[in-house]
Amino acid sequence: MEKVKSLKGSVSTLLLGILLISGCASTQDSYHIRLNVIDHKPHCGGAFPTPEQVNGTDEAVTGEVFGLISGETFSDSIHEPTLLHLDEEGVCNVNLAPGTYSLVLLDKWMESSSFMKKYSAYDAQLYKVKDATCFETWRNSIDFSFHISRDSVVSFVRQHKCYTGTNPCLEYIGPKAP
C-alpha cells in the first residue's frame, strides 16, 4: 500500500511538472509576419519639386523576389533560401518561427562575375564603376535583418541615391540636373 501511495504521489508530481513546463513553454511555433518593402527615392533636381517631392518619394517594391535566410550572415553557399514574392502592393505575408532573419536580393546568389557584370553595365561617360572588391562586398551583404518574437508588420525601406539607385558600386559622373 505504501508503494501505491508513493507511486501515485510520483505520478501526480510528474503530471504537475508537465503542466507547469507546458504552461511556461507556451511559445508559438510561428508568428504571422506582414513584410512591406518600400523604395525611398530622393528628389534629384530637375523640375521644381512639389511639397510632397521635396523630401523624396516612397514607392512599393512590386513583383520582386527576395531570399529569406535565418540569421544575419549571408553566404552564397546557402543553397535554398525561402523565396518571398512581393505582391502589387510590395507586401508578402509569411509565417515564421521566432528568431532573427535577413532579406537578401535574389541576384546575390549569382556567381561573382555574373553579379558584377549585371550591376556594372552602365554608360562609362555617365558612371564610374568601382572595383570588383566593392561588388564582392555588396554581393556578400544582407539587405535587411529583423527579429521575430510576435505577430508583426515589418517594413524595409531601401534607400536610393540620385542616379545610381541602390547600387553602392556606381558613382555618377554625368551632368547634374538643374
Q: What is the pLDDT of residues 17-28, one digit of tens each?
A: 322 233 333 356
Mean pLDDT of 1-12: 42
Tell me the whole-structure pTM to 2 decimals. Answer: 0.75
d(CA 3, CA 141): 64
pLDDT at 6 over 50: no
**pLDDT at position 90, please?**
94
Q: What is the per-residue pLDDT across 51-92, written as a single tens digit (0 to 9) for each? A: 888 899 999 999 999 999 999 988 767 767 899 999 999 999
* Helix, strand, coil tally for the chain in percent (to 5): 25, 35, 45
For 38-50, give one letter per residue: b (16+ CB within 10 A) or e: ebebebeeeeeee
Q: Are 60 and 35 in contact (CB under 8 A)?
A: no
- What are the cell numbers at 22? 507546458
pLDDT digits (tens, 9 = 90+) for 101-160: 999 999 999 998 999 999 998 898 999 999 999 999 999 999 999 999 999 999 999 999
pLDDT of residue 57: 92
Domain locations in the chain? Answer: 28-172
- Determine the average pLDDT of the residues in 27-36: 87
Give the pLDDT of residue 18: 29
Domain 28-172 has CATH 2.60.40.1120: yes
Residue 23 CA from chain centroid, whole number? 33
In which band, very low, low, confident or very high, does the pLDDT at 48 lie, cut at 50, 70 and 90? Answer: confident
* DSSP 8-state secondary structure symbol assigned to residue 108: G
Is residue 45 very low, low, confident or very high in pLDDT (cuts 50, 70, 90)? confident
